[in-house]
A = this chain, B = another copy of it.
Amino acid sequence: MADTARLDATFHALSDPTRRAILARLAREGDVTVMDLAEPFAMSQPAISKHLKVLEKAGLVSRGRDAQKRPVHLEAQPLAEVTGWLIEYRKYWQAQFERLDDLLEELQQLEKLAGKN
């Protein structure tokens, strides 16, 4: 996929709150089945399957196989790419980025506390 098309797909996938919630859950809990993912939402199972397809097309998740289950697995690389895209421009936007500075600093702190791992 062309670089720009990958960014299109990733940003589009992230533009929906249901899909962001799915990613967040996968980040917290690891692989989750479709039924389990659907449960907290006021939405049918096929709707969730469709969201998963969008996420999969963006490369944000992959699917496993466990009997009749198809566990959903988070793939972080596209997120790294879009984060990269955003940070790339930071040199130009620098002045307006105090809030990001705070976040980055917090991140550095966390890493220091966690030890170089």
The count of chain A contact residues (Cβ–Cβ below 8 Å) is: 41
A29, closest chain B residue (CB): B92
- Whether a CB of chain B sits under 8 angstroms from the CB of A35 is no
Interface-lining segment among A19-27, A36-44, A45-53, A64-72? A19-27
- Whether a CB of chain B sits under 8 angstroms from the CB of A1 is no
In contact, A93 and B76 (Cβ under 8 angstroms): yes
CB distance from A26 to the nearest CB of B (A): 9
Q: Tell me the A residues contacting B by CB distance below 8 Å.
A: 4, 7-8, 11-12, 14-17, 20, 23-24, 27-28, 74-77, 79-93, 96-97, 99-100, 103-104, 107, 110
Tell me, in angstroms, the Cα distance from A79 to B93 when the chains sit together: 9
